[in-house]
């Protein structure tokens, strides 16, 4: 029997929780999240939230910095929309109780730090674990709200649309496609449940697990992007994958990011022989160059030397300052035998952030009525070809607010909608998969393929080979999709494969180098042909 709600939010990060708290007064909100509610990329965000607060700063400067890093594809009207509401969004978090770090000289003000690509200190933070604190505060309010239900260990399988219900798009549906909810796997009962909603929201985060090395949480398998694309939404700019330059390189460290804020406070990158090298790649900004430049510089140094890592050194700073400013990083490294107050930190680049995703308007609306998308799974026009540091949490907050404004206005119309009868999930003659190794093998194969062939530096030949191999893996997955009873691993594998395919397709189409996308054969930008979004749309292709 279908479970009905007013708002179905898929995902439990900053965007999903922010929207839930803003629309809960309108009706019942159901949040489904595939692991624990705190298992989101938001929790891992260390740096902070970009916000103009200093006297020597301005919205115009923040907008200019964002547009510059976006490398010709960020949309100025969207950038202005987000940047100008940052102070209001920070005030909302302060009112909820987020303990942002205060300025030691003037505790009435928030401490602001500097990160790569920013021309001023404007990063609001909670020491070096901002995301964790924001997530905990939002989660605590959501758990206490009488109109919000949080269902952990629930993984969305596919969206339910009118076309899916009518098994095609007959004339009465064509042009009026609508999202009705989603089929969701309850991992505790292994049953697929039907959720019907007036409004469905995708807030599933990124897809870092598409790559072998990533700073992302294990849940980041691109579910929202895959769900939306299969349902008929446009996706765009998936070739622009940001690789964070400095993830901790240690056999016992998993997905641990060394925040860009260290470089903002004076940390220096050293080659494997202990020599600084960033002056060779960006003589002016050096360590504070945008992430794509720093990541490619490290990649080049590693390939040139044949070594496995470079080093980030902040040991020249006072010990007390390091421990107070970066307590989480200090404690984590110390447990692994690295004293960052006395020695450099071994680091490598890792897949960090998807600048592209589901195409939305300025209110988070997708191509399908009743379906919104927020946060990293989207392509809003805010980031363009590369993301400015600490703009990601800001985007999640801003577009949650935008969606809430739109939903409050349109809610009387949404309330009137009554969905048609929706059949429960029919597994047919599916049986349990006996060879679980097929899932683990393909999962590993995709991630290695993407890292080696579709990574920081790309070539046409490697992309074509990756496309051929990925298509073969995807065909195998789809061929067996209805043969076996679905599990979380199988669903994630399918989503991972679909997103990898889309990344490769976008990368092949962009025959230039721009932002985070670097092609050996086309090392320069080509504004005449490619200063535009790369858009993929299943509806048009079929």
Find the distance separating the first CA and the last CA of the chain, reported in whole Å: 33
Closest to 539 (Cα-Cα) out of 236, 259, 285, 169 = 169
Give the separation between CA 535 and CA 238, rounded to whole angstroms.
Answer: 9
Q: Which two tokens stand for residue 206?
A: 């990124």
- Give ∠ CA 353-36-252 in degrees, rounded to 5: 60
- Give ∠ CA 39-41-47 in degrees, rounded to 5: 130
Give the separation between CA 25 and CA 145, rounded to whole angstroms.
Answer: 10
Closest to 390 (Cα-Cα) out of 43, 44, 51, 134 = 51
- Range 523-536 burial, b when 16+ CB lie within 10 A, else e: eebeeeebeebbbb
Contacts of 511 (CB under 8 A, 6+ apart): 519, 521, 522, 526, 529, 530
Identify the active-site residue in 89, 291, 325, 494. 291
* Sheet with 535-537: strands ordered across: 378-379, 357-359, 234-236, 535-537
| DSSP 8-state class, residue 86 | H
- Give ∠ CA 111-115-120 in degrees, rounded to 5: 65
Strand runs labelled E in 187-288: 191-202, 234-236, 241-248, 268-270
> Does the active-site annotation cover 325?
no
| For helices 14-23 and 130-144, angle between their N-to-C axes, nearest 10 degrees | 30
Give the separation between CA 220 and CA 203, rounded to whole angstroms.
Answer: 11
Work out whether strand 241-248 and strand 345-354 pair parallel, antiparallel, or are unpaired. Answer: antiparallel
The H or E element spanning position 102 is none
CA quadruple 243, 244, 245, 246: dihedral sign: negative
Contacts of 318 (CB under 8 A, 6+ apart): none
Active site residues: 291
């Amino acid at each position: 029997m279908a479970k009905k709600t007013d708002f179905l939010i898929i995902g439990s990060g900053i965007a999903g929780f922010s929207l839930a708290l803003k629309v809960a007064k309108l009706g019942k909100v159901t949040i489904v999240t595939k692991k624990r509610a705190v298992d989101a990329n938001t929790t891992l965000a260390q740096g902070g939230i970009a916000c103009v607060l200093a006297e020597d700063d301005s919205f115009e400067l923040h907008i200019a910095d964002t547009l510059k890093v976006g490398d010709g594809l960020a949309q100025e009207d969207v950038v202005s929309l987000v940047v100008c509401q940052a102070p209001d969004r920070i005030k909302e978090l302060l009112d909820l109780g987020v303990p942002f770090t205060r300025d030691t000289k003037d505790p009435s003000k928030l401490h602001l730090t500097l990160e790569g690509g920013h021309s001023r200190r404007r990063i609001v933070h909670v020491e070096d674990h901002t995301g964790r604190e924001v997530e905990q505060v939002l989660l605590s309010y959501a758990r206490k709200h009488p109109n919000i239900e949080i269902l952990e260990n629930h993984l969305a399988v596919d969206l339910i649309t009118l076309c899916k219900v009518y098994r095609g798009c007959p004339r009465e549906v064509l042009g009026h496609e609508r999202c009705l909810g989603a089929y969701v796997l309850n991992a505790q009962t292994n049953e697929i449940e039907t959720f019907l909603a007036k409004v469905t929201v995708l807030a599933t985060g990124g897809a870092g697990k598409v790559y072998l090395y990533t700073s992302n949480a294990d849940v980041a398998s691109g579910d929202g992007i895959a769900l939306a694309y299969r349902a008929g939404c446009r996706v765009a700019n998936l070739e622009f994958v940001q690789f964070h330059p400095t993830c901790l390189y240690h056999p016992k460290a998993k997905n641990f990011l060394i925040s860009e804020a260290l470089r903002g406070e004076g940390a220096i990158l050293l080659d494997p022989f202990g020599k600084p090298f960033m002056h060779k790649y960006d003589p002016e900004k050096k360590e504070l160059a945008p992430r794509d430049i720093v990541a490619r510089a490290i990649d080049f140094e590693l390939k040139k030397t044949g070594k496995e890592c470079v080093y980030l050194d902040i040991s020249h700073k006072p010990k007390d300052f390091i421990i107070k400013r970066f307590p989480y990083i200090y404690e984590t490294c110390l447990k692994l035998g690295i004293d960052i107050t006395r020695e450099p930190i071994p680091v490598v680049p890792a897949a960090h952030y998807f600048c592209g995703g589901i195409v939305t308007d300025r209110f988070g609306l997708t191509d399908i009525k009743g379906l919104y998308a927020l946060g990293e799974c989207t392509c809003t026009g805010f980031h363009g070809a590369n993301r400015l540091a600490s703009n990601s949490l800001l985007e999640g907050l801003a577009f949650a607010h935008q969606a809430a404004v739109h939903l409050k206005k349109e809610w009387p119309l949404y309330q009137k909608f009554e969905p048609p009868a929706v059949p429960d999930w029919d597994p047919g003659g599916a049986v349990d998969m006996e060879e679980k190794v097929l899932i683990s093998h393909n999962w590993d194969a995709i991630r290695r393929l993407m890292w080696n062939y579709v990574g920081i530096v790309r070539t046409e030949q490697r992309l074509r080979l990756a496309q051929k191999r990925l298509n073969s893996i995807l065909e195998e997955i789809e061929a067996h999709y209805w043969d076996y009873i679905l599990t979380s691993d199988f669903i994630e594998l399918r989503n991972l494969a679909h997103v990898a395919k889309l990344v490769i397709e976008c990368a092949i189409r962009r025959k230039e180098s721009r932002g985070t996308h670097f092609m050996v054969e086309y090392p320069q930008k080509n504004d005449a042909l490619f200063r535009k979004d790369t858009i993929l749309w299943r509806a048009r292709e079929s």
